[in-house]
């Protein structure tokens, strides 16, 4: 099969790494890709949002399957364009991708489908949202309705902070509409399932670390690290949650005549009253993917192709191993606000542990040197028979890598091994 993978981050490098292992692969193209994907497949200088050009490339290169990594091209209709051109695609249509691109849409869908979630209120203007907060005298989680690259949620500590969050997010493009949500407490877990519109194949659950600094301090980011499998969920729990959350969402989307083909990501919080859905994403998580894929036995390409209609999706296509994996994100100075670029990255070549994979995210070649080119620069993933060993391998590799201003958390997975 000729495959076109769309995207340029750490998630896409991880997907390329796993797809390249498939016996079905002929040629793997990545658009636009990064220095990491260039070592695996053939990078193409086409941006992820250049939908007409991506379709042209898919036709000229006789692509058998397009795999869409990021959320923005899904929301912009890349899958729709591929399907119109008769090209199989792993990734939902723009209408189905609203489950991520509009938090208000997702919240209404959850309520109608009976999916457990937090109390929420939707506002089309910031003044109404602020009036509601003053009337209730409660602290609310404030969410921008639209896509915000993982930075559209603020968890305030007071009523005043809630009002500040409303002002801040309403000033962004994603915050033209706001969702105020009840604040819940408990461990958070990411459950991702491969979906063909009706059936779902859940992957090992993972736990992300959103805050920038140790101890869950600092601002929210796109994710500073992840580990899998999350010990909070047993295999039986995963089966139950797939039945309670993933499948009802698929049925609701199918009933709305927008069947979902792709990776459906449920961001869960495990409260004392039971699991609740904080959000849905319409694609693989980042950095969860970098921790999940090294744990999978089986042919990922065959599973994605089955979701896109080339075969039948079945529970035995992918299986989790008995290992654990941990990904530590190395971020640029100034991330998440104004990340610095063009700093030289050193030490990657000195990492020779076969149980460590280094995934490129925001990197570039400049004057013959590998440099930083984004907020999250690298994802260093260690694999081991236990989470403790996986973390030890990841952090040993991190110690060998450096670039000016490098930021990373030193407590990824720490609570799980205490």
Structural domain boundaries of the chain? Answer: 2-94, 119-181
What is the average pLDDT value for the chain, to the nearest integer?
A: 96
Cα–Cα distance measured from residue 372 to residue 250, given in angstroms and rounded to the nearest whole number: 39
The tokens of 352 are what?
């020779």
pTM of the model: 0.95
Euclidean distance between CA atoms 221 and 269, whole angstroms? 18
Contact (Cβ atoms closer than 8 angstroms) between residue 152 and residue 146: yes
Instruction: Provide the pLDDT for residue 148.
Output: 83
**Cα–Cα distance measured from residue 272 to residue 278, given in angstroms and rounded to the nearest whole number:** 15
Are 414 and 385 in contact by the 8 Å Cβ rule? The answer is no
CA 312-315-318 angle, 5° bins: 100
Alpha carbon 171 to chain centroid, angstroms? 25
Show pLDDT as tens, one digit a residue, over the chain (418 residues).
999 999 999 999 999 999 999 999 999 999 999 999 999 999 999 999 999 999 999 999 999 999 999 999 999 999 999 999 999 999 999 999 999 999 999 999 999 999 999 999 999 999 999 999 999 999 999 999 998 877 788 889 999 999 999 999 999 988 899 999 999 999 999 999 999 999 999 999 999 999 999 999 998 899 999 999 999 899 999 999 999 999 999 999 999 999 999 999 999 999 999 999 999 999 999 999 999 999 999 999 999 999 999 778 999 999 999 999 999 999 999 999 999 999 999 999 999 999 999 999 999 999 999 999 999 999 999 999 999 999 999 999 999 999 999 999 999 999 998 7
In whole angstroms, give the CA distance from residue 215 to residue 411.
7
CA 31/CA 68 separation, integer angstroms: 10
**Buried residues in 108-130 as b, exposed as e (16+ CB within 10 A):** ebbeebebebbebbbbeebeebb
Mutual orientation of helices 300-307 and 10-19 as an angle, nearest 10°? 100
CATH 3.30.1490.20 fits 119-181, yes or no: yes
pLDDT of residue 312: 86
For residue 311, the model assigns a pLDDT of 77
Would you state the structure tokens that stand for residue 408, as one six-digit string?
Answer: 């990373």
Sheet containing strand 153-154, strands side by side? 120-123, 178-181, 141-144, 153-154
Q: What is the pLDDT of residues 121-173, one digit of tens each?
A: 999 999 999 999 999 999 999 999 998 877 788 889 999 999 999 999 999 98
Look up the CATH architecture of domain 2-94: 3-Layer(aba) Sandwich (3.40)
CB proximity list for 255: less than 8 A, separation 6 or greater: none
């Amino acid at each position: 099969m000729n495959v076109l993978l769309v995207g340029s981050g750490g998630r896409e490098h991880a997907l390329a790494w796993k797809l390249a292992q498939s016996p079905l692969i002929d040629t793997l193209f990545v658009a636009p890709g990064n220095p990491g994907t260039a070592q695996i497949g053939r990078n193409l200088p086409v941006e992820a949002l250049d939908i007409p050009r991506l379709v042209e490339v898919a036709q000229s290169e006789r692509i058998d399957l397009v795999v869409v990594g990021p959320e923005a091209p899904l929301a912009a209709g890349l899958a729709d364009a591929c399907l119109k051109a008769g090209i199989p695609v792993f990734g939902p249509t723009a209408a189905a991708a609203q489950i991520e691109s509009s938090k208000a849409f997702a919240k209404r869908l959850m309520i109608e489908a009976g999916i457990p979630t937090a109390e929420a209120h939707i506002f089309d203007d910031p003044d109404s949202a602020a009036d509601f907060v003053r009337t209730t005298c409660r602290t609310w989680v404030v969410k921008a309705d639209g896509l915000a690259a993982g930075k559209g949620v603020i968890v305030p500590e007071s009523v005043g902070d809630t009002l500040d969050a409303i002002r801040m997010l309403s000033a962004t493009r994603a915050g033209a509409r706001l969702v105020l949500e009840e604040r819940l407490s408990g461990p958070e877990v990411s459950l991702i399932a491969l979906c063909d519109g009706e059936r779902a194949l859940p992957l090992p659950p993972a736990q992300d670390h959103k805050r920038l600094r140790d101890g869950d301090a600092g601002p929210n980011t796109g994710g500073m690290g992840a580990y899998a499998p999350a010990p909070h969920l047993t295999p039986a729990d995963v089966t139950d949650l797939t039945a309670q959350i993933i499948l009802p969402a698929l049925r609701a989307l199918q009933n709305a005549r927008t069947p979902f083909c792709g990776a459906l990501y449920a961001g869960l919080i495990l409260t004392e009253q039971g699991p609740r859905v904080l959000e849905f994403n319409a694609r693989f998580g980042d950095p969860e993917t970098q921790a999940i894929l090294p744990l999978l036995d089986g042919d990922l390409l065959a599973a994605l192709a089955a979701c896109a209609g080339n075969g039948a999706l079945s529970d035995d296509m992918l299986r989790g191993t008995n290992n654990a994996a941990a990904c530590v994100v190395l971020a640029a100075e100034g991330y998440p606000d104004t990340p610095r670029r063009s700093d030289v990255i050193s030490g990657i070549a000195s990492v020779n542990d076969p149980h460590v994979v280094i995934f490129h995210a925001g990197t570039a070649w400049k004057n013959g040197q590998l440099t930083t080119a984004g907020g999250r620069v690298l994802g260093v993933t260690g694999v081991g028979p236990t989470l403790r060993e996986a973390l030890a391998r990841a952090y040993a590799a991190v110690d060998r890598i450096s670039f000016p201003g490098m930021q990373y958390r030193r407590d990824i997975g720490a609570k799980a091994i205490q």
